[in-house]
Amino acid sequence: LGPADLKGKSVLITAGPTREPIDPVRFLSNRSSGKMGFALAQAAQRRGAAVTLVTGPVALADPWGIDVIRVTTAEEMAAAVLGQAPAMDVIIKSAAVADFRPASCQSLKIKKTNQGLRLDLIKNRDILAELGHRRQPHQVLVGFAAESHDHLSEGQRKLREKNLDLIVVNDILGSETGFDVATNQVTLIGRKEIHPLPLLSKEATADRILDRVVTLLGEKAIK
The residues that touch ligand PMT, with contacts defined as CB under 6 A, are: 16, 32-36, 74, 93-97, 99, 124, 126-128, 143-146, 158, 170, 178-180
Indicate the residue among 146 and 199 with the shorter CB distance to ligand PMT. 146
Closest approach of ligand PMT to the CB of residue 85, in Å: 11
Per the residue annotation, which of 30, 114, 124, 170 is the catalytic one?
30
Q: Is 199 helix (H, G, I), strand (E, B) or coil?
A: coil
**184 has catalytic annotation:** no
Q: Which residues are annotated as a binding site for CTP?
A: 99, 109, 144, 158, 162
At what angle are helices 202-222 and 35-46 packed, to 10 degrees? 50
| Beta bridge partners of residue 166, listed in sequence order | 142, 190
Indicate the residue among 48 and 181 with the shorter CB distance to ligand PMT. 181
Q: Are 147 and 168 a contacting pair, CB within 8 Å?
A: no
β-strand 121-123 against 100-102: which pairing, if any? antiparallel
β-strand 20-21 against 27-28: which pairing, if any? antiparallel
Indicate the residue among 50 and 78 with the shorter CB distance to ligand PMT. 78
What count of other Cβ atoms lies within 10 Å of the Cβ of residue 113? 7
DSSP states of 113-150 as a string?
-SS-----EEEPP-HHHHHHHH--TT-EEEEEEEESS-
Closest approach of ligand PMT to the CB of residue 166, in Å: 11
What count of other Cβ atoms lies within 10 Å of the Cβ of residue 150? 10
Closest approach of ligand PMT to the CB of residue 88, in Å: 15
Closest approach of ligand PMT to the CB of residue 26, in Å: 20
Distance CA 190, CA 168 (A): 9
Indicate the residue among 57 and 179 with the shorter CB distance to ligand PMT. 179
Q: Which residues are annotated as a binding site?
A: 99, 109, 144, 158, 162
Please identify every residue annotated as catalytic: 30
